[in-house]
Structure 1
């Protein structure tokens, strides 16, 4: 994802186009984006909840169902899709006929993105309450509050610390059908099951339009007409998402014209803090879904080098890996019909 508006506007290579030119014979097109590809998976609430439970040691159909209360048909469908996507693999342990669903290397590699989202939720969405869980890093034995860093120099990276240029996968492609662009009318499903700061974060950016509008903020597009043109989005949907993002504290409005009144939408400190989770998801999408052609290449302004985002322990500076983490919970998972995590202190 890009950094500041000033830097990004200078780097952008594509000229503004009208909504009509952003449509092809097969429908709407959109910017190639590794973060969007990652959110194609985790912005489906059921898929996200299943992956989250897997990180806590859940492996069987009935254990997933107990923790999440999903209808059997829904759970069967999502487990099948996640297996087809190679997030899970099916295993029949020993002579048992009962199959287990275990995360693949690709699935485990989502863990840093979840942790980056968790840190955002802890900082901004806890409403003064203690976070649902505390991370303990086995490598250093410390309570850990992971940070997103530059893979070259190891220093933290924020929205004002990086610039970008087009990578070999840059361009536009037909919009993928079936994406989660609609907000659920019955309240967010992300909060089902155990308390979760990741769930709280995805309540804000978990539908694709909300994510894309925030992404345009990182690309330096602040004005309604510019965002409308870039996304080829219906005006009523854009108005709804902007209003929601302002209400949630991600954007603030600033008037730049009167008679008629017109406003631009700028990222708040909270909104800019989404940069870390965004580029953590970008790294995963680049690695697993870009076929070796990342759409963007990031450069760290402090050290001057291209970099891959890394989610590291803030104490020992080592990359966060799911197998190296223990947890201290502020709730009893049994109250939610859920397992562990098994490594609870």
Structure 2
């Protein structure tokens, strides 16, 4: 997960990948859809090239112009992107241009993507999966060059977009340690090696967003632990899909850091499926309607 987020765990990078799946390929197309500084877009496109997610090559229509296209590694992110969009629809999280309507062409019905076990066809959830350490267990210290600013300056409930939650590396890592039973501030800080002010900020954002709830476990002095709400637990399929992608495309000789088993007894074999017919979904099978165009004023 750490490797996956290091390759993709940036709000602007996630937006670029989203737009690539929605058909953008030229620099000006990305800029028209996303706005922002041209230098920011340029740096994210270059970073996604370095990580092997995008490839720069000539357009078929106009060989004189170059475009950015998803590589096989980039196309492998479709499952996690689809689950991310579906989670946003289920929980009413604003997603900008993220798709909001999905139709499965095979069965012809409107649907939302689900993550199911490829062996027994039952849903993969936090409570139906167990884990054991893998041969590559441990937490890598990867070089991260991005700035980690405070997320929310007020005590009001944040107006937060999908990419703000799932496109921030530290936020995603703070959520992911919950899946392994790490709930207390000092435990999270020790495992992740995160600065206390950044951890405080991400915990507060996750609580205000309804993904975490805070529980008192010591009265004097008051100490709290953080637990996933139902909304937070519903992020687990997306995390599984990201981990599967990383195990496929970012693996090393040590082997997977963790092994997941479904309660049917089978090793993790995730399939993104249609909520209506349970058929496996592919890019060619899904019709998507994008959300609103971003306001660049």
TM exceeding 0.5: yes
Q: C-alpha distance in 2, partners of 1:36/1:283?
A: 12
Where 1:227 maps in the other structure, the secondary structure is helix
Match of 1:97 among 52, 58, 64: 64
1:157-202 superposed Cα distances (whole Å, 9 cap, x missing partner)? 1111100111222123333232564446899xxxxxxxxxxx8233
Taking a change above 3 Å as real, the CA distance of residues 185 and 222 of structure 1, as seen in their structure-2 partners, is: closer
Larger Rg: 1
Q: C-alpha distance in 2, partners of 1:212/1:83?
A: 23
Taking a change above 3 Å as real, the CA distance of residues 281 and 56 of structure 1, as seen in their structure-2 partners, is: same
1:61 is displaced (CA, Å) by 1.6
Where 1:256 maps in the other structure, the secondary structure is strand
Taking a change above 3 Å as real, the CA distance of residues 87 and 304 of structure 1, as seen in their structure-2 partners, is: same
1:69 aligns with 2:35: yes
Where 2:143 maps in the other structure, the secondary structure is coil
Q: C-alpha distance in 2, partners of 1:95/1:254?
A: 59
Determine the structure 2 residue equivalent to 1:45. 11
* Structure 2: runs of 5 or more not aligned: 155-159
1:285 aligns with 2:246: yes
Q: C-alpha distance in 2, partners of 1:81/1:326?
A: 29
Q: C-alpha distance in 2, partners of 1:159/1:95?
A: 48
Determine the structure 1 residue equivalent to 2:206. 245
Taking a change above 3 Å as real, the CA distance of residues 84 and 242 of structure 1, as seen in their structure-2 partners, is: closer
Q: C-alpha distance in 2, partners of 1:39/1:116?
A: 16
RMSD of Structure 2 on Structure 1 (CA): 2.6
Where 1:318 maps in the other structure, the secondary structure is coil
1:56 is displaced (CA, Å) by 1.1
Taking a change above 3 Å as real, the CA distance of residues 169 and 236 of structure 1, as seen in their structure-2 partners, is: same
1:39 is displaced (CA, Å) by 1.9
Where 2:140 maps in the other structure, the secondary structure is strand
1:38 is displaced (CA, Å) by 1.8
TM-score by length of 2: 0.86
1:84 is displaced (CA, Å) by 2.6
1:205 is displaced (CA, Å) by 4.1
1:312 aligns with 2:273: yes
Q: C-alpha distance in 2, partners of 1:166/1:173?
A: 15
TM-score by length of 1: 0.75
Taking a change above 3 Å as real, the CA distance of residues 228 and 308 of structure 1, as seen in their structure-2 partners, is: same
Q: C-alpha distance in 2, partners of 1:71/1:236?
A: 28
Q: C-alpha distance in 1, partners of 2:287/2:27?
A: 24
CA contact (8 A) 2:216 2:222 kept: yes
Say how many residue pairs are matched: 286
Determine the structure 1 residue equivalent to 2:157. none
CA contact (8 A) 1:298 1:308 kept: no
1:324 aligns with 2:267: no
Match of 1:211 among 168, 172, 183: 172
CA contact (8 A) 2:99 2:288 kept: no
Determine the structure 1 residue equivalent to 2:50. 84
Q: C-alpha distance in 2, partners of 1:232/1:250?
A: 22
* Structure 1: runs of 5 or more not aligned: 1-34, 188-198, 338-345
